[in-house]
């Protein structure tokens, strides 16, 4: 068993089973995947999110292994990802409680509680062609470079997200940030349960992350000049060198982004 509790949960749960307490928390349900649930709740006057994992079952485990997919077995992967991103200086969630119990990966129970990041707005909801235009070229490019810096930090340290869309970047929209440039506001990377951490990020997974980011950025109004700015920062190379040396990278990213576009149309996510 693994258990990590900070206040106020350490004190409030000292005389009870923390797993039963975590699984019994009630609030606004955000996601219910059967074995995995995400809810927002309030505790001692503060807002939190709890993710509970009840075990995926032997059938789901075997199906994932059959299709050579890494199954999400519990909350520990996201807990580890939060810790690693924090070490690297990437803004993300703050874990305040975590537990894992059980030896069988198909039936283990786990939970993760994080502080609610409020008020925030997903970057793909904040940005649109009008907003990007009103930013001005300098501010827009600064935001693009910031996204590139985060991407480079992840990939150069063996991390890939696997759901690397703009919707998983939360922009601080608190009143005190109204006068602060968008590129200088806190920007939190979330939804880390599928993150992979290795000594080195394989090229294939770098490209998948970049394709997802490009696909979602293009949909809200970022253009090819923004792409060039992103690649210069991401590759840490002058534009001419980026153009001359990264044809394969960009072909791969563009191809995967087009596949995501077609998939989105096919599933009715967008036109």
85-133 residue pLDDT tens: 999 999 999 999 999 998 777 678 999 999 999 999 999 999 999 999 9
Using 50, 70 and 90 to split pLDDT, how confident is the model at 74? confident
Instruction: Report the 10 Å Cβ neighbour count for 131.
Output: 13
Q: CA-CA distance, 214 to 193, in Å (whole number)?
A: 21
88 and 55 within one domain: yes
62 pLDDT more than 80? no
CA–CA separation, 167 vs 121, rounded Å?
Answer: 9
Whether 186 and 233 map to the same domain: the answer is yes
Same-domain status, 129 and 107:
no
CATH code (residue 168): 1.10.510
Question: For residue 64, what pLDDT is reported?
Answer: 60
Domain contains 255:
yes
**pLDDT at site 17:** 97
Quick one: pLDDT band at residue 54, thresholds 50, 70, 90? confident
pLDDT of the residue at 85: 98
- Please state, in angstroms and rounded to a whole number, the distance separating the CA atoms of residues 230 and 239: 10
Q: Where are the alpha helices (DSSP H) in 45-119?
A: 57-66, 76-88
Same domain, 80 and 208: no
- Specify whether 139 is located in the same domain as 85: no
- Distance linking the first and last C-alpha atoms of the chain: 47
**pLDDT by residue (tens digit) across 141-174?**
999 999 999 999 999 999 999 999 999 999 999 9
**pLDDT of 57 over the 60 cut:** no
Tokens representing 25 are 């928390």
pLDDT digits (tens, 9 = 90+) for 222-247: 999 999 999 999 999 999 999 888 88
* Residue numbers annotated as active site: 163
Q: Contacts by 52-56 with C-beta closer than 8 Å and gap 24+?
A: 52/22, 52/23, 52/109, 52/110, 52/111, 53/108, 53/109, 53/110, 53/111, 54/23, 54/109, 55/102, 55/104, 55/105, 55/106, 55/107, 55/108, 55/109, 56/105, 56/106
- Which has the minimum average pLDDT: 35-39, 41-45, 68-72? 68-72
pLDDT at 30: 94
- 144 and 260, same domain (yes or no): yes
CATH label of the domain that carries residue 10: 3.30.200
For tokens 């485990």, name the residue. Answer: 61
- Give the pLDDT of residue 38: 96
Residues 124 and 252 in one domain: yes
Residue where one domain finishes, among candidates 83, 115, 147: 115
Identify whether residues 207 and 97 lie together within a single domain.
no
| 159 within a domain of the structure (yes/no) | yes
Name the domain boundary from 94, 115, 136: 115
* Spatial CA neighbour of 249 closest among 238, 264, 235: 235
Query: Which of 48, 49, 91 lies closest to 185, judged by CA?
Result: 91
**Number of domains forming the structure of the chain:** 2
List the domain range (segments joined by +) for residue 212: 120-266
Q: What does the chain come to in residues?
A: 271
Decide: 110 and 76 in contact? Cβ < 8 Å: yes
Q: Are residues 196 and 228 in the same domain?
A: yes
Sign of CA dihedral 133, 136, 138, 144: negative
Residue 271 lies in a domain: no
Share of the chain above pLDDT 90, in %: 81
What pLDDT was estimated at residue 35? 81
Q: Which of 54, 83, 115 is the last residue of a domain?
A: 115
What's the whole-number mean pLDDT along residues 59-84?
Answer: 76
Reported as a single tens digit per residue, the pLDDT across 196-226 is: 999 999 999 999 999 999 999 999 999 999 9
The single residue listed with the structure tokens 């968008």 is: 182
Global pTM? 0.94
Q: What is the mean pLDDT of the chain?
A: 92
């Amino acid at each position: 068993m693994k258990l990590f509790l900070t206040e106020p949960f350490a004190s409030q749960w000292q005389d009870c089973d923390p797993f039963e307490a975590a699984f019994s928390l009630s609030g606004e349900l955000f996601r219910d995947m059967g074995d995995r649930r995400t809810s927002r709740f309030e505790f001692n006057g503060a807002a939190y999110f709890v993710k509970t994992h009840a075990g995926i079952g032997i059938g789901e485990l075997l199906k994932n292994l059959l299709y050579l997919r890494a199954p999400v077995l519990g909350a520990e992967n996201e807990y580890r990802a939060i810790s690693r991103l924090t070490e690297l200086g990437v803004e993300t969630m703050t874990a305040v409680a975590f537990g894992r119990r059980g030896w069988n990966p198909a039936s283990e129970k786990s939970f993760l509680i994080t502080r609610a990041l409020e008020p925030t707005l997903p970057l793909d909801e904040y940005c649109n062609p009008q907003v990007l235009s009103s930013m001005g070229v300098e501010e827009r490019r600064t935001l693009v470079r910031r996204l590139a810096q985060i991407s480079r930090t992840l990939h150069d340290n063996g991390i890939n997200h696997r759901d690397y869309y703009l919707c998983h970047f939360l922009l601080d929209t608190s009143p005190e940030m109204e006068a602060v440039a968008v590129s200088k506001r806190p920007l939190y990377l979330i939804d880390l349960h599928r993150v992979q951490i290795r000594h080195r990020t394989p090229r294939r997974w770098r490209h998948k992350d970049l394709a997802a980011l490009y696909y979602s950025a293009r949909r809200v109004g970022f253009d090819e000049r923004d792409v060039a700015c992103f690649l210069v920062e991401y590759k840490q190379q002058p534009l001419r060198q980026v153009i001359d040396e990264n044809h394969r990278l960009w072909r791969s990213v563009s191809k995967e982004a087009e596949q995501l576009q077609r998939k989105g149309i096919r599933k009715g996510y967008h036109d």
